[in-house]
Amino acid sequence: IEVLRAAAERPRLVHVTTTIEVYRVAERPGPDGWAEHVRQLADLDLLIDRVTGRRIDRADLEAPDVLARYDALAQGEHAEQVPIVLTTTEVHLPLLLDEEHRVILACGAARSGKTHTGSQRFLRRVLKRGGAGRLFWIAAPQREQCWIALGKLFTGFQGQEPIVPKGRGGVEPLVRERPEGPHAKRTMVELIDGTVIDLKHLRFQTAANIKGSRVVDVLLDEAAEVKHETNWIVMLGRLVQDGGSLYGATTPNPPHFLEKTIAAAQDDASILVRSFSLHENPWLDQDEVSRYEALLSRTGGEAVVQREVYGRWVIDGEGAYWVHWDPETMAIPSNGGRIATVSPAPGAPRFTDITRAVASKLAKKNGGRNWFVRGLQATQLEYVGSMDVNKHPITCTIFKVFAAGGRVHDPDSWGMFVVDEFRLERIYSIHQFAQEFARYRGGLYKGMLVFVDPQNCHRPRDLKRGQTGQGGNVSAEALALAGFDARPAATRAVERDGRRRRIPYSPPAWEPFALVTKLQFDGCFFVDSAGCPALLKALEEQQRDPKRPREPVRVPGTASDRLASATDAVRYGAWAVFGPSRVPAPTGVLA
């Protein structure tokens, strides 16, 4: 009776406001720890009728008299006040406010803010898009995990206050009915306006328990712990009718089917993938985070640090491969490829661009003839390209050659500046890639010399009887037909039928990798800080292969293979330009 009386005495209208408090990590701790308040943002302002479920968003009103009536009603005695304060950081704010992407995957370790941000975003979506009969899901591999996410919203969790503050007497102001615990038979939460939030576990291989429903939005926690890809596919299908979104929060756990979504995000505007670091959480003691990172590095290795501290999808290896890569000094702007206007460091002389001379010399090598199109020779000599041929993705890096210290006649002083990359994650044929590459940046690179993985440059006559080659002559020939002077990155001479000819030759994989490492060691390797995201990611995250320690981890069909596409492309270009003469001994800079 008391519960009924309390419900009857509550006002019919509910005035919900959300305010966003934005923080960042301070340079040094203060009285309140490491959290530094940046700004406050006024957010939602809604009136909800608890009887009919209708809602009015103040942002949709324009006429001054209508706004005045709204404000009078919202602040009057017939409206219960529910002020909600959302807390976030500068790096998490874009995800909290995101209304564009169909799939958001937030990756990070525990306490990186990924689930907290997802819960707050989910609440905003419920407030804006809810209503009588509208269905939302909180999903996780186990039902107990769903309950934790629900607790963060309405009931509180592990002594922390819920995002939606409780009213007098501990009343949950937006909740009409909810399950009493994670194992309750009824899993649905009904809000005061008729919105339904259902808790869905994802244990079934067939995803039978999540089929048949039309869903507005999904909050998925511990996404990488979902074992069966069918659940992911079915969830995405449930969102189609209402144009909803799926927010997944997870700690990276490769190999996993989510790596397909991460790869697709490169060229699918509806997918957003972000990694969050513990160093970006202002409510953590950053000194403790640094000590934790050092402990993980000693006990678990670099790959574990990348996953558990920085939220990156890095497969296990024996530490970072590119040990001489320094993003602070080697990732710099190239001024749109005009490297002659750029200095490698403040106060240092500008780069001496010798690309045209080097490209011209390389184009005349081996008789100056393209292998696949008669009479074709490079006409765009301002850039040189190098390409890795893979199933998914295919990457072509575009680079310049410079002479360090202006020593243009000393090949040992030459260096490589990667100024751009062209990458397709999903391709239907190498011909499609070639045609799209020819149109890239208005055809800027068409006619360029492109060095290709030698295994994809064979002509039929080069192969022994019964061989087909890996990709035959298709890859390089497709580039040549699209107007690029495509050639193998390395060749060797052979005698056949009394005739001497050159055929593509693939050196041991470690040698081109060692060459790129040597360029970095010598300070002769730079990457454009904005134009090459895939290459920069690979240089940061690639791990040393424990079975082949002179090479990075590259397991076919996994994230490590896709990650390696950009660095594979670079090594082919480095080998073609600088050759084996600069490769260090196996016990040299790689030791």
Average pLDDT of every residue of the chain: 87
Mean pLDDT is lowest, of 36-45, 174-183, 285-294, for 174-183
User: How far is it, in rounded angstroms, from Cα 581 to Cα 410?
Assistant: 13
pLDDT for res 589: 42
For residue 447, the model assigns a pLDDT of 93
Question: Rounded CA gap, 583 and 514, in Å?
Answer: 6
Band of the pLDDT at 37, cuts 50, 70, 90?
very high
538: Cα separation from own chain's centroid: 12
Q: pTM to 2 decimals?
A: 0.66
Residue 120 has pLDDT above 90, yes or no: yes
Phi-psi group of 103: left, alpha or beta (phi > 0 → left; psi -120 to 50 → alpha; rest → beta): beta
What is the percent of the chain where pLDDT is above 70?
92
Domain ranges, ordered by start, for the chain: 2-280, 351-582
Using DSSP's 3-state secondary structure scheme, residue 591 falls into: coil
Note whether 399 and 418 are within 8 A (CB). Answer: yes
**Binning pLDDT at 50, 70 and 90, where does residue 469 land?**
very low
List the alpha helices (DSSP H) in 440-558: 474-481, 510-521, 533-541
pLDDT score recorded for residue 476 = 79
Above 90 in pLDDT, residue 481?
A: no
Bigger pLDDT: 296 vs 581: 296
Residue 548 φ/ψ, nearest 5 degrees: -130, 80
Output the pLDDT for position 133: 87
pLDDT over 90 at 364, yes or no: no
The per-residue pLDDT for 7 is 59
* pLDDT higher than threshold 90 for residue 4: no
Residue given tokens 């050659």 in the structure block: 401
Q: Phi first, then psi: give them for residue 311, nearest 5 degrees.
A: 70, 30
pLDDT of 125 reads 94
Other Cβ atoms closer than 10 A to 364: 12
**What confidence category does residue 572 fall into, taking pLDDT thresholds of 50, 70 and 90?**
very high
Mean pLDDT confidence for 433-459? 88
Q: Is the dihedral of CA 425, 430, 434, 436 positive or negative?
A: negative
Query: What pLDDT digit, counting tens, does each position of 200-252 carry?
Result: 999 898 998 898 888 999 999 999 999 999 999 999 999 887 778 999 999 99
Q: What is the pLDDT of residue 458?
A: 63
Amino acid at 588: G
pLDDT at residue 471, as a whole number? 42
For 22-26, 94-98, 240-244, 528-532, which range has the lowest pLDDT when averaged over its residues?
A: 240-244
Q: Which of 440, 458, 468 is nearest to 372 (CA)?
A: 458
CA distance 217 to 48: 20
| Spatial CB neighbours of 477, under 8 Å, sequence gap ≥ 6 | 372, 373, 486
* Segment among 427-436, 510-519, 537-546, 564-573 with least mean pLDDT: 427-436
∠ at Cα 317 (311, 320), nearest 5°?
70
Q: Is 579 helix (H, G, I), strand (E, B) or coil?
A: coil
The mean pLDDT of 378-387, rounded to a whole number, is 94
Per-residue pLDDT, 461:
47
- Topology given in CATH for the domain delimited by 351-582: Nucleotidyltransferase; domain 5 (3.30.420)
pLDDT at 168: 74
Residues 6+ apart with CB under 8 A from 256: 224
Homologous superfamily of 2-280? P-loop containing nucleotide triphosphate hydrolases (3.40.50.300)
pLDDT of 349 above 80: yes
pLDDT band at 556 (very low <50, low <70, confident <90, very high): confident
Q: Which comes out higher in pLDDT, residue 495 or 84?
A: 84
Alpha-carbon gap, residue 302 to 293, rounded angstroms: 9
Q: What does the alpha-carbon distance between residue 222 and residue 145 come to, in Å, rounded to a whole number?
A: 8
* pLDDT value of residue 464: 46
